[in-house]
Structure 1
Amino acid sequence: MAPQLSEFVKAYDVRGLVGSQLTPEVMEAIGAAAVAVTGETAWAVGHDMRDSGPGFAAAFARGATAAGADVVEAGLCSTDMLYYIAGARDVAGAMFTASHNPAEYNGLKMCLPAARPIGLDTGLADIRDRAQAILDGERSPDAADKPGTVTTEGFLGAYAAYMRGLVDLSGIRPLKIVVDAGNGMGGHTVPAVLGDQLLDALPIEIDPLYFELDGTFPNHDANPLEPANIVDLQARVKATDADLGLAFDGDADRCFVVDADGEPVTPSAITALIATRELEKHPGSVICHNLICSKAVPEIVAEHGGRPVRTRVGHSYIKAVMAEEQAVFGGEHSAHYYFRDFWFADTGMLAAMHVLAAVGGSDKSLSDLADEFVRYVPSGEINSKVADAHAKIDEVAAHYESGARTDRLDGLTVELEDGSWANLRPSNTEPLLRLNVEGPDRASMERLRDEILHIVRN
């Protein structure tokens, strides 16, 4: 029996177990289906450092070329490097990565030309269903009269030059930074963009941690949002008196930042910091932020003359709103950062470069700079397993019918008169409710947090 794609085709991408779910046959069928559904006949295909990546990329290319598409095999890529290729070459893209998932997983992210995302509501569901029919023998792949071609090309140098053209780091004061690549694709891209592997040296001394590409993740999981995975980075930053530390996830589309004391700088503070820099260049522009970012973000954007626009959580939602509003920048509390100058796509590297430019262009430390953007006390995300997520949300909404402002943009958001707010939303993939709370002080945050958790967990 063929693997059931509905089990591992998610809202925005494909993510599954190698061998039992993801096979070369599955990827070949998806390649053929992707060409048929999108009508795109020019594709770039890349992969991260996982062992199964090259074989899956080749299988996708076989399916795509049989359907008449020309494929450029880009080899090792970070996800944002694949977005660069899709944008700069105006081609569709297929990136084989499972991001921060464990070694036994792989996955696939696809985009249209100009790095426009392909999600369930923008073609991925049709690709899934068509590929399933091919695997089940219910239909044959569409065979073109003339198969497409496969060529191989490297893009690392062009990507590095483009990134340096967006943020000039040549005139900053000397900085010493520790970078934890987590054995992921940051080990491939950081030496090219921030080091002197391909371009002239910048006034940055890089202390590399776990730059060896290894899809088994021998040192720690490549998910820097988990506190346990940045312990080594924090220790090295403090031990070496570095100015700051950067941690990338497995496919290097997210970047997490710690200051000189090893203290994490929240993605909301990074969002506000980058927003102010972009508003200096583009006064009056729109800045997007998802609804679990700190309330400080829209306040600071407005104070700097920008127009804040609030979005749902998830890259397909924020990218769509950014394109509609022509927003110059967007940030999510998951450390995804999106830039109009980067085809509205997310890139951890460009966010890191903005942080380095801000610190290197100032006589202040990162912690002093970040303090300017921190105004409230957050709870962090709290997960609760529930039998019926939507019923629980309705129960919480009923509790706050009077005496609070509420909205249903994404789950339920509650805002109290004292400035405290909470968002409760269901997971897309698990029977969980995710709660984020923020208050003007710890007592008010904890009061609202505990009140909602009492309803959710009883």
Structure 2
Amino acid sequence: MPDLTSIIKAYDVRGVVPDQWDETVARAIGTAFAEFVHGETGATSVVTAHDMRDSSVPLSRAFAEGVLSRGIDVVEAGLGSTDMLYFAAGSLEMPGAMFTASHNPAQYNGIKLCRAGAAPIGQDSGLVQIREWAEQLLDGAAPFGRDPGRLGTVSTRDVAVEYADYLRGLVDLSGIRPLKVVVDAGNGMGGHTVPVVLSGLPLEIVPMYFELDGSFPNHEANPLDPANLVDLQAGVREHGADIGLAFDGDADRCFIIDERGEPVSPSAITGLVAVRELAKGTGTVIIHNLITSRAVPEIVREHGGEPVRTRVGHSFIKAEMARTDAVFGGEHSAHYYFRDFWRADTGMLAAMHVLAALGEQARPLSELTAAYERYVASGEINSTVADQAGRVAAIREVYGERDGVTLDELDGLTVSWPDGAWFNLRASNTEPLLRLNVEAPDATRMAQVRDEVLEVVRA
């Protein structure tokens, strides 16, 4: 029997196909998911969508068979981005399942599950129960006493236009000055959604790698890796564009490149969008994870908002947004969450906010975003270590006795100095890695902290 603990992670399902999971596993997970959402809320329908990977259609159909076997109907939204699935789950008030491995290489696939209203399902909120039931099903057991009395039915619904109309109702781009925009879809789902959402606006779109191809022939669809931004940076310079947008494989994240071809940090985008959301006057709370720049809470306070710091990860962000009624949340990884979008993450809506902010005034993007870039950051640096806990303990010992230094263990270990320098060291949930993020008032101080920490971590 496949080891489901190796593919059902903290937030989703993710693994190599067919080595780690296949259609049989997908069918069992679909069966368990249907029973879970029916038992929790009485759900009678589930909506599904999938990305462009070769394995996505077979896996999503096998999952649907499992759902149907429990008397639950399936609405197939077909080809879409993850945030389009969240839109469907929100607007249709149905639990949802998105088949994608996001930025992972071609041999991977996965499932992102949510409740009706796009509310998250994670390890602490149902995923463990779903996994246990799926394991029992694969082992030949029948874990459910309920007799559904019928098979569910399948229908299809193309929600792309509804999704586009909804986003365009949240951010009006019709009156901005004309902008030239280079978009790198990375052969992922941005190539499907960008033409629907951004057509007919004062935007000249220069497409890069819009052909849907789950083998990712041009580069990985992971814009968090600077190597995957090189083509877009060159494209922005070559075309004299005002801005560049880079989407990941399932198009729920968006990275921004300015007119010089330089990346704009996700923390700066968080600050910019936060200011726009606060200006609506519909709420004051802004969520940011502990790895975003210290500039974010500063900017939020300066604009009358209340910053709330959380752990890294969408389930923590969404839970805190619900608790505080936050209007917006941002992460260092370019996940952006909106109360107006069922508290779900959408790179497209964040991109539209940046396009609006740029197009509503005359300055170039580099000048517009300079006010949000106050510190120098290292970016995320990964170190492969055999003993994650031991290395973190060594760092805690090194810095724990230093005068003026504060330690915080909300998520991993965060060490801060009075001069504004800080670092966070976190263990990966899925790999033998420690992830280091450093920020300081200037590049020299950042490099000093970075190199000192890495010397201990990699000793």
Considering the TM-score relative to the shorter chain, is it more than 0.5?
Answer: yes
Tell me if the contact between 2:26 and 2:63 (Cα under 8 Å) persists in the aligned partners.
Answer: yes
Q: Which amino acid aligns with 2:294?
A: K
Tell me which residue corresponds to 2:222: 223
Deviation of the 1:278 alpha carbon: 0.6
Contact 1:180 / 1:211 at 8 angstroms: preserved in 2? yes
Structure 1 residue aligned with 2:152: 148
**Structure 1: distance between partners of 2:447 and 2:191:** 40
Question: Per-residue deviation at 1:29?
Answer: 0.7
Aligned match of 2:10: 11
CA distance in structure 1 between the partners assigned to 2:400 and 2:240 by the alignment: 51
Distance 2:427 2:107 in 1: 26
1:40-439 superposed matches below 5 A: 40-139=43-142, 144-195=148-199, 201-282=200-281, 285-402=284-401, 403=403, 404-439=405-440
Distance 1:156 1:280 in 2: 29
**SS at 1:179's partner residue?**
strand
Distance 1:376 1:311 in 2: 20
What letter matches 1:167 in structure 2? V
CA deviations 1:128-160 (Å, max 9, x no partner) are 111111111133676521121111111011000
Structure 2 partner of 1:20: 19
Match of 1:87, SS state, is helix
Q: C-alpha distance in 2, partners of 1:442/1:393?
A: 24
Mapped contact 1:74–1:152 kept (Cα < 8 A) = yes
Residue pair 2:248, 2:254 contacting (<8 A) in 1 also: yes
Does the CA contact (< 8 Å) of 2:283 and 2:327 recur in 1?
no
Say if 2:29 is the partner of 1:34: no
TM-score (norm 1): 0.97
- 1:283 to 1:72, Cα distance in 2 relative to 1, 3 A: closer
TM-score by length of 2: 0.96
- The answer on whether the counterparts of 2:282 and 2:327 sit within 8 Å (CA) in structure 1 is no
Instruction: Tell me how far 1:454 sits from its aligned partner.
Output: 2.2
Q: Which runs of 5+ in 1 are unaligned?
A: 196-200
Offset, 1:283? 6.2
Task: Give the Cα separation in 1 of the matches to 2:409 and 2:189.
Answer: 37
Q: Contact 2:133–2:143 at 8 Å: present in 1 too?
A: no
Contact 2:407/2:416 (CA < 8 Å) preserved in 1?
Answer: yes
Question: Displacement, 1:284?
Answer: 5.5
Instruction: Give the AA of the match of 2:54.
Output: D
SS of residue in 1 equivalent to 2:131 = helix
Aligned to 1:198: none
Query: How many pairs are equivalent?
Result: 452
Give the conservation status (yes or no) of the 8 Å contact 1:282–1:328.
no
What amino acid maps onto 2:150 in structure 1? K
Moved more, 411-420 or 280-289: 280-289
Shift of 1:27: 0.8
- In structure 2, stretches of 5+ residues that fail to align are none
Distance of 1:154 and 1:248 partners within structure 2: 22
- In 2, are the aligned partners of 1:283 and 1:306 still within 8 Å (CA)? no
Q: Deviations over 1:107-145 (max 9, x none)?
A: 100000110111111111111111111111133676521
Task: Give how far 1:25 is off.
Answer: 1.1
Structure 1 residue 443 displacement after superposition: 1.8
1:32 aligned partner, one-letter code: T
Partners of 1:438 and 1:261 lie apart in 2 by: 23
Separation in structure 1 between the aligned mates of residue 119 and residue 282 of structure 2, nearest angstrom = 25
Query: SS of 1:396's equivalent?
Result: helix
Percent sequence identity is: 62
Letter in 1 for 2:433: L
Aligned-residue offset at 1:282: 2.4
Instruction: Provide closer, same or farther for how the CA distance between residues 283 and 445 of structure 1 changes in structure 2, counting only shifts above 3 A.
Output: farther
